[in-house]
Amino acid sequence: MTPCVLKFGGSSVATPERIRAVAEIVKRKREVCAPVVVVSAMGKTTDELLKLAYSVSRRPPPRELDMLLTVGERISMALLSMALYELGLEAISFTGSQVGIITEDRFNRARVLEIKLYRITDALKEGKIPVVAGFQGVSVSKEITTLGRGGSDLTAVALAISLGKVPCEIYTDVPGVFALDPRKFPGVRRYERMDYTILSEMASSGARVMHSRAVNLAAKYGLPFLILSSYEPEKGGTLVEKREHLESPGVKAITTMPIVMFDVEGREGLPLLARMVEAVRVLNFTHDATTGKHLVLSVPLEERDRALETLSEMGVRFALREGLSMVCVVGWGVSAPEIMEAIFSVVGWEHIFMMMGASDTKVCIAVEKEREEAVVGNLARKFGLYEAP
């Protein structure tokens, strides 16, 4: 039977009941393919492990942090294997290093270089169900590494490609990709099919549903994948694939991300930028040579402390602006004048804190956090992103 990769995110394995429900899904799937299962850590385990690390150290050494964080996925892989045994299925759990997920020499956000599949193919031949810990690998110098937050998606996609572009299903807590976060905006459109480009743009600007690096990897190798809910798998989901000539132009989605901005004074732009890009995820920067304020940098709110620390270490003068949200309009040809004009008139020019960038597939603005909900709701109505009543 052809293998298939089934990935279950943190919310899908958050409790013993959910783990048992996942085991049932795997059992049903086994009738049509030979599952290779990838799991994330249970619920908020990774956040709790991080908190634990910061409770004993102001700056945990990156190697030790990875050693700690990889524990989360070991718990869920072992528990899911046990639950599968309970259903009479033979399962075998593996860490990333046991199956040969080889990464570059970098802690905390390592890239996957290759997958040896060492033990997966053997397990499949023996009729067993391999259950692989997501989000982790082993570096070329044999250190345990993690792939970055949300990295289990990447493990799943990389495995599906290595196994010969086999079917890949990403189970989460919502039944697919919606035009907006369906938890914050109930009643928005769900997509049955979606192009890699749109999901990648969404993922890189705040739509958590799938890791952007995983989407990009799937696009590079032309691996279609399905995103669906482990709570209601029968509802189907969103098939993400290459959709040449099939997409009509227009707005497909809106994303939000809490951000902070730094106004940095001084003339040492390049070294400063280089250092910041290394330390945190810089979403956008503007440089105006005519003013004293040399550089304006935006970073996700979750990177605020690390950015503050880095700027302080560099000894530069800066001001911090908080309470902002990056709102991005994603779609085909969204920088067309009529769409830009519609965005500006719906949001209100005076409420646009900063224009953060515009390309053919994404237009991003910064607004005050309090305005976010109204702005996004109005944009969604304007661009017809709610389900028809």
Binding site for ligand ASP (CB under 6 A): 9-10, 40-41, 46, 72, 134-135, 149-152
Please tell me the distance from the alpha carbon of residue 80 to that of residue 102, in angstroms, as a whole number.
Answer: 24
Of the pair 109, 119, the CB lying nearest ligand ADP is at: 109
Q: Is 134 in the site for Mg ion (CB under 5 A)?
A: no
CB of 215 to ligand ASP, least distance (A): 14
Please tell me the distance from the alpha carbon of residue 180 to that of residue 58, in angstroms, as a whole number.
Answer: 36
By beta carbon distance, the residue nearest ligand ADP is 9
Q: Which stretch binds Mg ion (CB under 5 A): 82-90, 102-110, 117-125, 147-155?
A: 147-155
Please tell me the distance from the alpha carbon of residue 19 to that of residue 42, in angstroms, as a whole number.
Answer: 9
CB of 225 to Mg ion, least distance (A): 13
Q: Is 10 in the site for ligand ADP (CB under 6 A)?
A: yes
Residue 183 interaction partner, one of ligand ASP, ligand ADP, Mg ion, none, beta carbon < 5-8 Å per kind: ligand ADP
CB of 251 to ligand ADP, least distance (A): 13
Of the pair 94, 191, the CB lying nearest ligand ADP is at: 191
Beta pairing, strands 3-8 & 168-172: parallel
Residue 135 interaction partner, one of ligand ADP, ligand ASP, Mg ion, none, beta carbon < 5-8 Å per kind: ligand ASP
Based on C-alpha coordinates, what's the Rg of the chain? 22
Q: Is 19 in the site for ligand ADP (CB under 6 A)?
A: no
Task: Decide if 207 contacts 195 (C-beta within 8 A).
Answer: no
CB of 47 to ligand ASP, least distance (A): 7
Residue 149 interaction partner, one of Mg ion, ligand ASP, ligand ADP, none, beta carbon < 5-8 Å per kind: ligand ASP
Interface residue with ligand ADP among 28, 165, 183, 220 (CB under 6 A) is: 183
CB of 222 to ligand ASP, least distance (A): 23
Please tell me the distance from the alpha carbon of residue 286 to that of residue 273, in angstroms, as a whole number.
Answer: 11
Q: Is 150 in the site for Mg ion (CB under 5 A)?
A: yes
Q: Is 155 in the site for ligand ADP (CB under 6 A)?
A: no
Please tell me the distance from the alpha carbon of residue 201 to that of residue 377, in angstroms, as a whole number.
Answer: 20
Q: Which stretch binds ligand ADP (CB under 6 A): 68-76, 172-180, 288-296, 366-374?
A: 172-180
Please tell me the distance from the alpha carbon of residue 367 to that of residue 380, in angstroms, as a whole number.
Answer: 16
Residue 46 interaction partner, one of ligand ADP, Mg ion, ligand ASP, none, beta carbon < 5-8 Å per kind: ligand ASP
CA 349 to chain centre: 31
Q: Would you tell me how many other CB atoms lie within 10 Å of the CB of residue 116?
A: 13
Burial annotation 53-92 (CB, 10 A radius, 16+ → b, else e): beeeeeebeeeebbbbbbebbbebbebbbbbbeeeebebb
Q: In what order do the strands lie in the sheet with 168-172?
A: 91-94, 129-133, 34-39, 3-8, 168-172, 225-229, 237-241, 193-195
Q: Where are the alpha helices (DSSP H) in the chain?
A: 16-29, 45-56, 62-86, 118-125, 152-162, 196-204, 212-221, 269-279, 304-314, 337-347, 372-382
CB of 108 to Mg ion, least distance (A): 17
Q: Is 167 in the site for Mg ion (CB under 5 A)?
A: no
Q: Which residue has the tokens 């597939």?
A: 361
Q: Is 207 in the site for ligand ADP (CB under 6 A)?
A: yes
Task: Decide if 94 contacts 120 (C-beta within 8 A).
Answer: yes
Question: Residue 188 carries which DSSP code?
Answer: B
Please tell me the distance from the alpha carbon of residue 36 to that of residue 172, in angstroms, as a whole number.
Answer: 16
Of the pair 14, 261, the CB lying nearest ligand ASP is at: 14
Q: Where are the beta strands (DSSP E) in 81-155?
A: 91-94, 101-103, 112-115, 129-133, 136-139, 144-146
Interface residue with ligand ADP among 22, 180, 326, 327 (CB under 6 A) is: 180
Residue 180 interaction partner, one of Mg ion, ligand ASP, ligand ADP, none, beta carbon < 5-8 Å per kind: ligand ADP
SS3 110: coil
CB of 178 to ligand ADP, least distance (A): 4
Q: Is 172 in the site for ligand ADP (CB under 6 A)?
A: yes
Q: Which stretch binds ligand ADP (CB under 6 A): 19-27, 68-76, 169-177, 366-374?
A: 169-177
Binding region for Mg ion (CB under 5 A):
9, 150
Binding region for ligand ADP (CB under 6 A):
9-12, 40, 150, 172-174, 177-178, 180-183, 202, 207-209, 253
